[in-house]
Homo-oligomer: A and B are copies of this chain.
């Protein structure tokens, strides 16, 4: 699933950050040949994401390290349950422990929260999606965790899809002009999303051929009207300051997509520990 050239670069940067030139304690007290076993344990309920990345941390420190994954990404685990076992050189295990857990805990935290959102709306034909409000440098891992948790991804980066906002509209002389201008310049493989704040703009966007319309910070009532106005001609995305409390009300409006920055920008790491036996 992962492009390991990219992931390895992330891990190696992070190992350099955490170790720098030596693990002064471990390299002075542990023998090079010492081996150990350890258990990776959930300390709270949650959904696991990132086991392959966790394993890779140790493989990059010592390719002989074995990580025996007892569950798969996306599995629900109970507090106290064992997620994986590790076996390898003690030095590699101790040096990789903190980074491995930092990644696994963060990714599982995202998966767990995403799952909560996805579960909440499962009766509705709506998608919860993430945003570009990810941790700088870790987007690929965080967006993966969102999917593991049962939500979906929005565009990955600014190159990948068009999102016409207020400023683009103003600079282009209106929604229609913006859409026509950019349709002529972008690959035929790309969709155009337009951000609107009212029903008039929605109508204009639909007329001009938008593929997706983002309803920015709209009230529930307006969303309902938007759904009626759109009549299935565009994908409707609700966005802007959406909290968990409002999620079902928004789902009920009939919008297709709800995008939520908090899935990645305000993450509670899942409590997971590595217990060396």
Contact = CB atoms under 8 A, between A and B. Distances in A.
Contact of A167 (B36, B159, B181): B36
A230 interface: no
A119 interface: no
Residue of A12, A136, A137, A156 most packed against chain B (CB within 10 A): A136
Nearest to A265: B269
Given A30-B167, A30-B171, A109 B266 contact: yes
Contacts of A21: 3, 6, 139-140, 156, 159
Number of copies: 6
B6 A185 contact: no
A89 interface: no
Interface in A73-115: 90, 94-95, 98-99, 101-103, 105-106, 109
Nearest to A169: B29
Contact of A3 (B22, B133, B189, B257): B22
A10 B5 CA distance: 12
Return the 7 tightest CB-CB contacts between A and B, nearest first. Answer: A14-B136, A161-B189, A20-B159, A23-B158, A265-B269, A137-B137, A266-B268
